[in-house]
Amino acid sequence: MEASHIKYTLDFIRPGGTSRGVLTQKETHFLCLADGENWGIGECALFRGLSWDDRPGYQQQLDWACGNIHRGLEALREELCRWPSLVFGLEQAFRSLQGDSPMQLFDSGFTSGTPIPINGLIWMGDAGFMREQIRRKIAEGYRCLKLKIGSLDFETELALIRQVRQEFPEGELEIRVDANGAFTPGQAPERLHALAALGLHSIEQPIRQGQWEEMAALCRENILPIALDEELIGICDPEEKIQLLEAIRPQYIILKPSLIGGFAAGEEWIRLAGERNIGWWVTSALESNVGLNAIAQWTAGLETDMPQGLGTGSLFSNNFDSPLETDGGHLWYRADRDWNIPLLKSLCT
């Protein structure tokens, strides 16, 4: 078996605003395996500024993984625990190589026509831009929206959500917000009370990660259900995962396979969270359709009916043609559409 890797830059159709700035491009890497006539591909979806493995030595670790591919997935997963996006790519590549076809990684109803409910993602921007996105997503059939907040004046964001709520009550539209750690611990209680009054489902990461005591206090008060996101990044030891969940006791955790170390790590988080009555859902992290396809197939096998965060595939102008399609608030796998297999295979040669 031989392995290789190649860097690929995804271009946003429209810049995406977050509390960390505006994104125009997204770096990713493809890891390719070849065994005779069989080949497999996986996406090592590095996220600059957020990934734990956004540090010196990434290319060297990719080279090392390719040079040691003969050791097998389990040994590589253990060795590369602290390089989560590499583990994510390796898990895909091995499944891709061993599957009936390179893009069939998990068996589930998703690839035969059962869609996955997803939230509509509303990017940060000025109030007019956010309002336009909200109107469009609702018209497209979304009944769960996730709003990125933290870049505008908080009163402006509150007024925007209030306006949506006046037209669409809780029973008709679920609203989640993601603060990406934009609030200080001092600001958070008052702001959570204001958001909770609007009947929101939850808030992701109201304060920055690493403040376990302050986050635990917010979760205990339960003004608004809290979902941990960035808080999970950088933890691969099972005992440390238990310590985090025990210390903070969040209402939810958000699983981003490329940031937490792939599917096996995600299933471990799910098991540990379930033992503590903590809910969860899965979110993509700006992968190409290669990584998104793998995440969606894995998620479908988890048999959850909660809306997932898997609607990012249409953000890029140079994404890969695929059967993936968002429609009516769901992610679909249109089996009558083809992958651009020649293009994907060419990345591996």
Catalytic residues: 148, 256
Q: What whole-number distance in Å separates Cα of residue 322 and Cα of residue 84?
A: 25
**The two three-digit tokens of residue 15, written as one number:** 């810049």
- 29 closest CA partner among 12, 16, 10: 10
Q: What whole-number distance in Å separates Cα of residue 305 and Cα of residue 6?
A: 36
**Cα dihedral sign, 220-224-227-229:** negative
Q: How much helix, strand and coil, in percent to the nearest 5, is found in the chain?
A: 40, 25, 35
150 phi/psi in degrees, rounded to 5 = 115, -10
- 177 closest CA partner among 159, 195, 164: 195
CB neighbours of residue 250 within 10 Å: 28
DSSP letters for 280-318:
EEEB--S--HHHHHHHHHHHHHT---SPBB---GGGBTT
**Letter string b/e over residues 117-136, b meaning 16 or more CB atoms within 10 A of that residue's CB:** bbbbbbbbbeeeebeebbee
Q: Which residues contact 117 (CB under 8 A, 6 or more apart)?
A: 144, 305, 306, 307, 308, 329, 330
Provide the phi-psi class of 37: left if phi over 0, else alpha when psi is between -120 and 50, else beta: alpha
